[in-house]
Amino acid sequence: MNNVMTRVMGLAMGLVTAAGCVGPESSGGETSETSPGAEPAGSEAQAIPASDPRLALERSRRALDRGDGEAAVAELEALAAKLDNGDEKNEVLLELSLAYELDGDVDAAVDVLESLLIANATRERYEAREPAEKRLRLLLTGSAEETGLRLPAKSNLPPITAALQQVFEPDAEGRVLVDVFIFGLPRSEHSGIFEIAEAKRHELEQDLTTNLKVSQSISSTGSWLGLPRAIGETDPSMPQADRSLLVFYFDLGDNRVPSRYDEYLPLPSEEIAAVLERGEGLVAARKREGGKPVLVIAAPRRAQLELVEQALAEMKEIPYEPAIVEVKPNLTGPEIQSVVRGSRKAMHECYKTALTRDAALTGKMHLKFAIDGAGAVVDASLGEGSSLVEEQLVSCVLGHVAKLSFPATGERTTVTYPISMTP
């Protein structure tokens, strides 16, 4: 970048760090009212009270109103250098871009906008983004708004998503509400198969139907225990059990839905469990009169649900006929990690005791062990490449490894698990 950009980037330093601490709706910082009789800024930057950035911003805006770009630039540069808060600083940088343009330095006006957008690149939403992008487009193209034909985005969603969107039809006022209630898996762990609203918009674009409005409301809970809330939900803007698409992630552990709620499942829970007890996965759906379908994604163990979900994603039709999904019985990496991490505190106590014998003790241990078909640990030992070999420490840690209990798979699994220990 040119020298001007280097100067402007200096004003925006600290914005990236601040942006990570300020939410999209927060304005941050302290503010104070400006008296109507406040004196305007002169041609040189005035001292800025640390607790009163709004007063300085008001002075710079008055300078802009008077057409005094030089005074506004000086005021805003001084203020930007003092601010740490991302959103508040963004506001100052937008004003600084205007001041540079008024002062005849269009390159600096462009550079300060680019620096603002770069510094906030990790933030999905923030108030200054749209006005900064519009000003940047205006300065570089002469138009603040996009012109020309925008081609519809390609849909890369899974086939099942296109099938699911078909059950959501417009209401009498031409609105489409995609309402989904998911049980047994936090929303952060879902794949793209429930981006149903996006699939609906894509279909409408293909049909040249532009007057329909599509909105989406997805509720998600990590357990079937959220079902009573869904049954009792009355807020029309929220997914409801008797109206929404219901999705159950079902396994033989905590996600096993009690038979009491069979009316909300596509199959009785005992029938679903019988399939899982054979070591197979299952996807099944059922139509509901007056409501959206109910769908179950089932596997013997929670860690295997992802495999069944992947099989569902490739289906081109909603599985109203139950479909068996083959799942591998072996333990997954996350399952092994979860169990070992549950014992890390006890292992650390072994290390703390070892430090009383040797305060400089540090390094790695490569834990080597096997898990039999019933989930018990056998043949625990210290593997090659270990640098922590103090005898008492090793004995203590391996003692805890021997007590670990994993899900039963019917197969033997060999594991090498590295851990680091430092004071």
Question: How many domains does the chain contain in total?
Answer: 3
Q: Is residue 291 part of a domain?
A: yes
Instruction: Please tell me whether residues 121 and 175 are part of one structural domain.
Output: no
At residue 294, the pLDDT reads 96
Instruction: Please tell me whether residues 299 and 349 are part of one structural domain.
Output: no
Instruction: Please tell me whether residues 196 and 341 are part of one structural domain.
Output: no
At residue 213, the pLDDT reads 81
Instruction: Please tell me whether residues 173 and 303 are part of one structural domain.
Output: yes
CATH number of the domain that residue 338 is part of: 3.30.2420
Instruction: Please tell me whether residues 322 and 344 are part of one structural domain.
Output: no
Instruction: Please tell me whether residues 164 and 77 are part of one structural domain.
Output: no
3-class secondary structure per residue, the chain? CCHHHHHHHHHHCCHHHHHCCCCCCCCCCCCCCCCCCCCCCCCCCCCCCCCCHHHHHHHHHHHHHCCCHHHHHHHHHHHHHHCCCHHHHHHHHHHHHHHHHHCCCHHHHHHHHHHHHHHCCCCCCCCCHHHHHHHHHHHHHCCCCCCCCCCCCCCCCCHHHHHHHCCCCCCCCCEEEEEEEEECCCHHHCCHHHCHHHHHHHHHHHCCCCCCEEEEEEEEECCHHHHHHHHHCCCCCCCCCCCCEEEEEECCCCCCCCHHHHHHCCCCHHHHHHHHHCCEEEEEEEEECCEEEEEEEECCCHHHHHHHHHHHHCCCCCCCCCEEEECCCCCCHHHHHHHHHCCHHHHHHHHHHHHCCCCCCCEEEEEEEEECCCCEEEEEEECCCCCCCCHHHHHHHHHHHHCCECCCCCCCEEEEEEEEECC
Express each pLDDT in 30-52 by its tens digit: 333 333 333 443 434 444 444 46
Quote the domain boundaries for residue 257: 159-326
Domain boundary among 141, 170, 192: 141
Q: Is residue 43 part of a domain?
A: yes
Domain boundary among 141, 174, 208: 141
Q: Is residue 149 part of a domain?
A: no
Instruction: Please tell me whether residues 340 and 315 are part of one structural domain.
Output: no
Q: Tens place of pLDDT for every residue, the chain, 423 residues?
A: 444 444 444 444 433 333 333 333 333 333 333 333 334 434 344 444 444 677 888 888 888 888 888 888 888 898 888 887 688 888 999 999 988 888 888 888 899 899 888 888 887 678 888 899 888 888 888 877 765 544 444 457 899 999 999 999 888 877 888 889 999 987 555 567 888 888 888 777 766 555 668 888 888 888 899 899 888 888 776 777 888 999 999 999 999 999 999 999 999 999 999 999 999 999 999 999 888 999 999 999 999 999 999 999 999 999 999 999 999 999 988 899 999 999 999 999 999 999 999 999 999 999 999 999 999 999 999 999 999 999 999 999 999 999 999 999 989 999 999 999 988
At residue 279, the pLDDT reads 94
Instruction: Please tell me whether residues 345 and 283 are part of one structural domain.
Output: no
Q: Is residue 154 part of a domain?
A: no
Instruction: Please tell me whether residues 64 and 27 are part of one structural domain.
Output: yes
Instruction: Please tell me whether residues 198 and 304 are part of one structural domain.
Output: yes
Instruction: Please tell me whether residues 229 and 250 are part of one structural domain.
Output: yes
At residue 44, the pLDDT reads 42
